[in-house]
Structure formats: C-alpha cells, structure tokens
Amino acid sequence: MRYIRAVHVDSPGTRNEHISSVKYTFSTSGAVFAATRDGVAAEIRAGHIYRTHNDQTGAEAPVIAATSMSGRPYITTIADGRESNNLLGLPRF
C-alpha cells in the first residue's frame, strides 16, 4: 500500500483536478517518493492501493482514480465528510 503524504497543485489549487504530483511512502513513515497525478491514477487503475495519510492528525482515506469532464485523469478521496483526510488537506510541496 502507498500513502500519499503531500501534494503539489497547479494554480488555483482549489480542486483535486489541480493536483499535478504527489509525494508518497510505502508505510506511514520511511523513504519518500514522488509521482505524477497521471502515474498515480494509472497505478490505481492497475490495482495498486493508495491512501492519504495526514501526519498531523493521523487521518487516512482511500484514494481513487477519476476522470474529469474534459477526459483528464485525476485522483481524489472517497467522500466521507472529513476534511482532514482529503488530498487537498495534505501539506503542499
């Protein structure tokens, strides 16, 4: 399992579709790796499991691949009403 711990967003950075890359680990600590949004979406579609992990709150949520209205892949969490486990609630880099 991979844990997304930080996100990089393109301007204006207000929607999951603006996430362009992520930093992730293979546990809730350890070596950090970078990946593009398209790469993560492709890995999720291939069966790899991603979750968010907020180091400050410990909150986690499953991450899924989606497709925008314009046909671009993006990643998002499964909505559960908790802002602290959303991708846009993670630290930025």
Q: Are the beta carbons of 23 and 4 closer than 8 angstroms?
A: yes
Question: Would the CA dihedral through 54, 58, 63, 68 be positive or negative?
Answer: negative
pLDDT, tens digit, 9 for 90 and up, residues 55-90: 999 999 999 999 989 999 999 998 787 766 799 999
Kindly report the pTM of this predicted structure: 0.92
pLDDT, tens digit, 9 for 90 and up, residues 36-64: 999 999 999 999 999 999 999 999 999 99
What residue ranges do the domains of the chain occupy? 2-89
